Amino acid sequence: MVMENLLQPGFDEEVEDTPKKYYFSMGEVCEMFDVAPSLVRYWHSEFSEIRPLKNKKGNRLFRPQDIETIKVIYHLLKERGFTIQGAKDYLKSQKKISKGDFELIESLKKIRSQLVDLKEFLK
């Protein structure tokens, strides 16, 4: 699963010499979450929190805050099993999942992944 790749060491660590990326293409977003472009377009139409910019050709350019919002939506829909309406209601009531809670979930997934790798190594 690609989401687990997001949790691998180094994914969100910045290298000092590498410039931070400000925009992500539709293809990059789809690859990050292992979903089809049609699903990302659908989420964009359903969730007003996702606000990508569009270039002259009309291609969507997702900013880092859009990626964070998509991470939360992905988590709610794919991992916690919310419906679209349930995710909308949750986002409205919470305004956003507290960053600390989301980071804790990601840290736990990272630890789990490392433990599974260690278990496989020891076999």
pLDDT tens figures, 42-87: 999 999 889 999 989 989 999 998 998 898 899 889 988 999 999 8
pTM equals 0.62
What average pLDDT does this structure show over 6-20?
46
Q: Does domain 2-122 sit in CATH 1.10.10.10?
A: no
11 close to 38: Cβ distance less than 8 angstroms:
no
* 94-105 confidence digits (pLDDT tens): 765 555 676 777
DSSP H/E element including 90: helix 84-94
Residue 117 CA, chain-centre distance (Å), reads 23
Residue with tokens 């691998």: 8
In angstroms, the CA 97 to CA 112 distance is 21
Output the pLDDT for position 10: 42
> In the predicted model, what is the mean pLDDT of the chain?
80
Q: Which residue has the higher pLDDT, 102 or 120?
A: 120
